Amino acid sequence: MDQPTAVFKTLTPRTPEDDAPAATPEHSEPEQEKAPEAESDRLKAAVAAWVATAEEPEADASEESDEDEHEAEPDESAEADIEPESESESESESESAEADIEPETDEPEDESDEDESDDASDEELVEAKATTESSEESWFAARKAATDAKPATEEPADVADSADVDDSDDSGDHADVDDEPVDQPTTMFKAVRLPVDQPTTALKLPSSLTGKGAGKGAGAGDADSERTSTFLPLRADIPAEQKAQKAQAAAAAPKAPEAPKPAASAPVQPKAPSASAAAAAPAPAFVEAERTRQQPLPPLPPLDLLAELTNTPPPPPTPLRTTVRRVRIWTPLILLVLIVFAIVQMVRPLPPPVLTLSAAPTFTFGGGELKLPFPTEGQGAVEVEGVGSMGTYGAQKPAPIASVTKTMTAYVILRDHPLKGSQKGPEIEIDQKADEQGKAEHESTAAVQKGQTYSEKELLELLMIPSANNVARLLARWDAGSEAAFVEKMNAAAKDLGMTQSTYTDPSGLLDSTVSTPQDQLKLAKAVMQYDVFREIVNMPNVTVEGIPGRIENNNNILLKPGVSGIKTGSSTPAGGNLLWAANTVVDGQNRRILGIVMGAKDAEELGKKLQLAIDNSYKLIQQAQKDVTSAAVVRKGQVIGYIDDGLGGRTPVVATKELKAIGWPGLQVKLALTNGGKAVPHIGKAGDIVGQVSIGTGAGKVSSPVALQTDLAEPGFDKKLTRVG
3-state helix, strand, coil in the chain (%, to 5): 35, 15, 45
Give 215's pLDDT tier (boundaries 50, 70, 90): very low
**Is the per-residue pLDDT at 268 higher than 70?**
no
pLDDT number for residue 302:
79
Burial 199-216 (b: 16+ CB within 10 A, else e): beebbbbbbbbbbbbbbe
- Cα–Cα distances in Å, from 330 out to 347, 479, 722? 26, 85, 22
Which residues, in sequence order, are bridge partners of residue 9? 190
Cβ pair 220, 280 in contact under 8 A: yes
Q: How confident is the model at residue 611 (pLDDT cuts 50, 70, 90)?
A: very high
> What mean pLDDT do residues 251-272 have?
49
Residue type present at position 553 = E
Amino acid at 228: T
* pLDDT for position 115: 42
Pick the closest to residue 215 from 281, 274, 136, 280 (CA basis). 274
- Reported in sequence order, the residue ranges of 475-619 that DSSP labels E, i.e. its strands, are 515-516, 542-543, 552-553, 568-572, 576-587, 590-601
pLDDT value at position 722?
A: 81
Q: What is the mean pLDDT of residues 398-403?
A: 96
What values do phi and psi take at 180, rounded to 5? -70, 155
pLDDT band at residue 183 using 50, 70 and 90 as cut-offs: low
Residue 152 has pLDDT above 80, yes or no: no
How does residue 703 score in pLDDT terms, banded at 50, 70 and 90? Answer: confident
Of the pLDDT bands very low, low, confident and very high (cuts 50, 70, 90), residue 264 is: very low
564 neighbors 538 (Cβ within 8 angstroms): no
Highest mean pLDDT among 399-408, 657-666, 699-708: 399-408
For residues 470 and 112, the model is more confident at 470
Q: What is the DSSP string of 317-385?
A: P-HHHHHHHHHHHHHHHHHHHHHHHHHHHHHSPPPPPEEEE-S-SEEE-SSS-------SSSEEEEEET
Q: CA-to-CA distance for 101 and 605, rounded, in angstroms?
A: 141
Q: pLDDT higher for 551 or 723?
A: 551
Of residues 104 and 21, more confidently modeled: 21
In this prediction, residue 298 carries a pLDDT of 76
- CA gap 568, 539 in Å, rounded: 10
pLDDT attached to residue 556: 87
Percent of the chain residues topping a pLDDT of 90: 37
pLDDT of residue 185: 59
What pTM did the predictor assign? 0.53
- What's the confidence (pLDDT) of residue 279? 43
Model confidence at 495: pLDDT above 60? yes
pLDDT at 275: 44
Percent of the chain at pLDDT exceeding 70: 61
